[in-house]
């Protein structure tokens, strides 16, 4: 999850600093969603192929949340 956030330029740490309780809960939910995803191999390969991206792949369960954290 953190690798996807990094490639998308999502400021997860900044959001958590701004609102630790609410953002912390959202982060936990995102991590659990990522852990339950069935596209792990595709995600690992996508991250290996992309140092930076403008959007998450279609199968990313956290795409909307990560998009909302982009500057």
pLDDT tens column, 21-39 = 999 999 999 999 999 999 9
Half-sphere exposure of 10 (CA within 13 A, CB side): 24
**Residue 71 reports pLDDT greater than 90:** no
**Residue 66 reports pLDDT greater than 90:** yes
Task: Determine the pLDDT at residue 28.
Answer: 97
Identify the band that residue 43 occupies on the pLDDT scale cut at 50, 70 and 90. Answer: very high
């Amino acid at each position: 999850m953190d690798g996807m956030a990094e490639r998308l330029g999502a400021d997860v740490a900044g959001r958590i600093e701004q609102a630790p309780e609410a953002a912390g809960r959202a982060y936990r939910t995102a991590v659990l969603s990522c852990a339950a995803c069935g596209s792990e191999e595709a995600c690992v390969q996508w991250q290996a192929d992309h140092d930076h991206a403008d959007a998450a792949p279609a199968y990313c369960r956290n795409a909307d949340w990560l998009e909302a954290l982009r500057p």
